Amino acid sequence: MFKDVEHLVRLAAVMLIALVAFVVLRAAVVPRSFGQYGHYRGAAIAEVAARPIAFAGHDTCEACHTDVVDQKKQGRHIVLSCEACHGALARHADNPASVTPPKLDTAVLCARCHEANSAKPKASPQVVTADHSGGLACDTCHQPHRPKIDTQPATKPATEARK
Amino acid sequence: MNIPVEGFMYPNEVELQWSILIVLYPFITGLVAGAFILASLERVFRVEAVKPTYRLALLTALSFLLVAPLPLQLHLGHPERSLEMYLTPHRSSAMAMFGFVYLWYLMAVLLLEIWLDFRLDIVIKSQTTTRVTRLIYRALTLGSDNISERSLHIDERLGYFITVIGIPSAFLLHGYVGFIFGSIKANPWWSSPLMPIVFIFSAMVSGIAAVMLLYMVTTRLRGRDIDIRCLDKIAQYLFYIFMIDFSLEMLDLLQRVYEADESFRSLDFMVHTRLWTSQVIIQILIGTVTPITLLGLTQILKLTEAARKRIYALAGCLTVIGIFAMRWNVVIGGQLFSKSFLGYTTYKMAFATREGLLTAIALLILPFIILSVLVKLLPPWPDAGPVPAPGAIEPRNQLTPVLRG
Ligand code: HEC
Ligand code: HEC
Ligand code: HEC
Ligand code: HEC
């Protein structure tokens, strides 16, 4: 009698072993803190919090670079944080003497936000950089912290995107 | 890479995220579900005529099922992470739940059914072969070589039960693929509750056509005669199910045309331009209307056997092409238009890249390689049953007629 279902019993045993192996594997590889707060590893929060701070924040820069802050206040770039352009500079803010911020390439930096794209809102200042500057670095004409050009320059680009 | 864009696209829509591999994924799972449903026809509804294809259909389903997740894995940047959906599944993720549907279908339905069905052959082979092959078969017997009539009868009952569970499972497997597309509410080309149903029926169509073709080709290769009664029956089923599939798709279309919601003009334009060849010409005219007409003719006219065989082969090929085109039009078509309904992009297929054409071709060949190995291991041919071992006990059913005498 048993002999006729023996193969099925063996099959069930194989399946059971597979199931147990899965449960053991799962217990072994799923991190302890998984699910502590939600569907993620709870310990990740502490780990992320323990990482060194990369961005110093606008207020920190203000303490030493009041001149730039004053300049920035005069133009529409007032909305931007220093590190949006200069990159993460916490290490510089901690130790300005030894960590010098890298020089920025404005032809790349400014185009990142101002390259014309029909998906951008109309109110956003945008130019077709190839026509507008012809490869010149943007800060040959614009002062990065106060980008508006007040005095009409002699070399006003023909395709300037003012509406 | 410069992608030709027409009208207005949002920047993130210009490049297609889902490539030809994601076209393969529903195509391959569809073949699995279709092949299995054909096999269960014989088992559950006792359609004796399609019996010669029963085992072949099961092995085909298995070979394609093993390949089904590969396109997705290749699409992922970190394929090893996909396993995490088994370890820490998120219940709100349709894709994570699909992992379980897949696993259930593979382990609890297909492998079990194949094992039960081939057990007699496996046991006999484990006694008649030698060396490595013998070891393989011995492992497959799980150490039990009982093939008494009673034990085989029990297998038969259990196999029947599993097939009964298997039919809704196969529906679930492929319905789920449709569900994943159908539930993307941001995309009007996909978002439709009819999607899972259309997917299931097109899956059956493609699976049945594929098994029919495979049966014809393998029988030819083995130098045997094709069982025309079997072929007639399969073609008949193909015809009926194809009719249902086609009407469902047309119903979906009609509904869209009549409803004409805000996306309609944009989608309509797309079908008339970018999708004209792949949707109207290949999918509908060549891949659906032509095979349905051909199959319909064989139902109405009295044709000779040779003519019928030719027509079936042609219709089968066109059907498989048509269903592939349908998957293409769903997956690629759904990404060609802008959510703003104001512009269209283009799909540029890469060639020798991770998600390129070459990979896709390799993935389509792979199931056939697996199938050829499986067929060597477990010959599914009704006319080539195993040679009985000395002392082997009276076998159980007609599937191994050689033994019956
Ligand atoms: C503790 C004071 C201090 C803080 C805080 C500070 N800096 Fe500086 N920064 C300096 C000093 C000092 C220099 C060097 C001035 C020089 O060499 O002319 C400098 C130079 C710079 C330079 C120019 C380097 C060059 O090429 O001339 C930049 C850009 C700069 N800081 C950006 C920042 C930003 C952005 C922040 C906020 C994240 C910041 N700094 C915070 C003190 C500070
Ligand atoms: C729109 C982008 C942008 C923003 C926002 C910005 N900077 Fe600059 N900054 C530049 C560029 C471009 C230069 C000139 C190139 C260089 O020196 O790397 C520059 C130069 C500087 C310099 C060198 C001396 C000078 O005045 O030319 C300092 C110091 C500086 N920035 C500090 C700051 C501080 C502090 C803030 C925040 C209050 C800030 N920047 C915000 C783009 C920006
Ligand atoms: C991080 C994105 C960002 C970068 C980088 C950036 N800008 Fe801007 N810029 C803005 C935004 C945002 C405004 C408009 C703010 C508003 O809406 O008032 C603006 C405004 C301007 C204006 C219009 C000023 C006016 O008063 O009409 C000019 C000109 C300009 N930027 C030039 C530049 C130049 C030159 C650079 C490179 C040094 C640059 N921007 C880099 C975001 C950026
Ligand atoms: C040859 C000088 C010159 C160069 C180089 C130049 N600009 Fe300008 N740009 C101007 C002038 C002049 C105006 C018009 C005056 C104004 O609005 O401030 C202007 C206006 C703009 C405006 C405002 C357009 C608007 O619609 O309000 C933006 C944004 C701008 N430039 C970005 C750039 C960027 C980015 C670069 C670098 C790729 C660049 N410019 C290089 C001269 C220049």
The string of pLDDT tens digits covering residues B255-313 is 999 999 999 999 999 999 999 999 999 999 999 999 999 999 999 999 999 999 999 99
Is 80 exceeded by the pLDDT of residue A152? no
Residues of A in Cβ contact (< 8 Å) with B146: 3-4, 6-7
Mutate to test the interface with A, among B8, B86, B88 (most CBs of A within 10 A): B88
Distances (CA, A) of B252 to A8, B255, B339: 46, 5, 21
Is 50 exceeded by the pLDDT of residue B388? no
Q: Is B158 on the interface with A (CB under 8 A)?
A: yes
How many whole angstroms separate alpha carbon B294 and alpha carbon B238? Answer: 11
How many whole angstroms separate alpha carbon A114 and alpha carbon A111? Answer: 5
Query: Tens digit of pLDDT for each residue in A98-107?
Result: 999 999 999 8
Task: Give the tokens for residue A35.
Answer: 């699910």
Task: Give the tokens for residue B381.
Answer: 């041919």
Residues of A in Cβ contact (< 8 Å) with B87: 25-26, 29-30
Query: Tens digit of pLDDT for each residue in B15-39?
Result: 999 999 999 999 999 999 999 999 9
Closest Cβ opposite residue B146 in set A6, A35, A117: A6
Angle value at C-alpha A39, between A35 and A44, nearest 5 degrees: 70
Please state the rounded mean pLDDT for residues A71-75.
92
Please tell me if the CB atom of residue A82 comes closer than 6 angstroms to any atom of ligand 1. Answer: yes
Please tell me if the CB atom of residue A100 comes closer than 6 angstroms to any atom of ligand 1. Answer: yes
Residues of B in Cβ contact (< 8 Å) with A3: 146, 148, 151
Residue A84 confidence (pLDDT): 95
Q: Whose CA is nearest to atom 34 of ligand 1?
A: A61
Residues of B in Cβ contact (< 8 Å) with A14: 142
Please tell me if the CB atom of residue A145 comes closer than 6 angstroms to any atom of ligand 1. Answer: no
**Contact yes or no for B211/B56 (Cβ under 8 A):** yes
**Contact yes or no for B235/B315 (Cβ under 8 A):** yes
Query: Tens digit of pLDDT for each residue in A34-46?
Result: 999 999 999 999 9
Give me the residues of B, 12-31, that contact A with CB < 8 A: none
Q: Whose CA is nearest to atom 19 of ligand 1?
A: A96
Is 60 exceeded by the pLDDT of residue A153? no
Q: Say yes or no for a CB contact (<8 Å) between B151 and A4.
A: yes
Closest Cβ opposite residue A5 in set B86, B142, B154: B154
To which H or E segment does residue B219 belong? helix B195-221
Q: Where are the domains of chain B?
A: 22-252+354-391
Cα A132 to averaged position of ligand 4 atoms, centre (Å): 7
Q: Is B186 exposed, middle or buried (0-12, 13-18, 19+ CB in 10 A)?
A: exposed
Query: Tens digit of pLDDT for each residue in B314-350?
Result: 999 999 999 999 999 999 999 999 999 999 999 999 9
Q: Whose CA is nearest to atom 39 of ligand 4?
A: A138
Residues of A in Cβ contact (< 8 Å) with B144: 6-7, 10
Cα A55 to averaged position of ligand 4 atoms, centre (Å): 29
Displacement of CA A8 from its chain's centroid (Å): 57
3-state secondary structure of B7: strand
Is 50 exceeded by the pLDDT of residue B391? no
- Token look-up 């297909």 returns B110
Q: Is B135 on the interface with A (CB under 8 A)?
A: no
Q: What share of chain B in percent tops pLDDT 70?
A: 94
Mutate to test the interface with B, among A2, A4, A19, A34 (most CBs of B within 10 A): A4
Residues of A in Cβ contact (< 8 Å) with B139: none
Which residues sit opposite A146 in a β-bridge? A143
Residue B46 confidence (pLDDT): 87
Residues with CB under 6 A from ligand 4: A 107, 110-111, 114, 125-127, 129, 132-133, 136, 138, 140-142, 148-149, 153, 155-157, 160-162
Which of A108, A117, A126, A133 is the best mutation target for the ligand 4 pocket, counting ligand atoms within 8 Å of the beta carbon and taking the most? Answer: A133
Please tell me if the CB atom of residue A81 comes closer than 6 angstroms to any atom of ligand 1. Answer: no
Closest atom, ligand 2, to C-alpha of A80: 5
Q: Is B20 exposed, middle or buried (0-12, 13-18, 19+ CB in 10 A)?
A: buried
Q: Say yes or no for a CB contact (<8 Å) between A7 and B141.
A: yes
How many whole angstroms separate alpha carbon B337 and alpha carbon B333? Answer: 8
Confidence at B41, pLDDT banded by 50, 70, 90: confident
Residue A112 confidence (pLDDT): 92
Fold category of B22-252+354-391 in CATH: Formate dehydrogenase/DMSO reductase fold (1.20.1630)
Is 80 exceeded by the pLDDT of residue A10? yes
B52-55: long-range pairs with CB below 8 Å, 24+: B52/B215, B52/B227, B52/B230, B52/B382, B53/B211, B53/B212, B53/B215, B53/B230, B53/B234, B54/B380, B54/B399, B55/B117, B55/B118, B55/B378, B55/B380, B55/B381, B55/B382, B55/B399
**What's the mean pLDDT when you consider all of chain A?**
88
Confidence at B106, pLDDT banded by 50, 70, 90: very high
Closest alpha carbon within chain B to A117 = B11
How many whole angstroms separate alpha carbon B155 and alpha carbon B148? Answer: 11
Angle value at C-alpha B30, between B24 and B32, nearest 5 degrees: 105
Residues of A in Cβ contact (< 8 Å) with B9: 119
- pTM, two decimal places: 0.78
Confidence at B384, pLDDT banded by 50, 70, 90: low
Choose among B217, B262, B255, B216: nearest CA to B235. Answer: B216
Choose among B83, B272, B98: nearest CA to B180. Answer: B98
Is 80 exceeded by the pLDDT of residue B383? no
How many whole angstroms separate alpha carbon B187 and alpha carbon B340? Answer: 11
Minimal CA separation from B94 to chain A, in Å: 15
How many whole angstroms separate alpha carbon A143 and alpha carbon B6? Answer: 37
Query: Which ipTM score applies to this complex?
Result: 0.81
Minimal CA separation from B52 to chain A, in Å: 27
Identify the DSSP state of A102: P
Cα B332 to averaged position of ligand 3 atoms, centre (Å): 38
Q: What sign does the dihedral B196-B197-B198-B200 (CA atoms) show?
A: positive
**What's the mean pLDDT when you consider all of chain B?**
90
Distances (CA, A) of B191 to B22, B182, B186, B323: 17, 4, 7, 19
A124-133: long-range pairs with CB below 8 Å, 24+: A125/A76, A125/A161, A126/A161, A127/A160, A127/A161, A128/A159, A128/A161, A131/A157, A131/A159, A132/A157, A132/A159, A132/A160, A132/A161, A133/A107, A133/A157
Is 70 exceeded by the pLDDT of residue B392? no
Distances (CA, A) of B20 to B69, B233, B277: 14, 34, 17
**Contact yes or no for B57/B206 (Cβ under 8 A):** no
Is 80 exceeded by the pLDDT of residue B127? yes
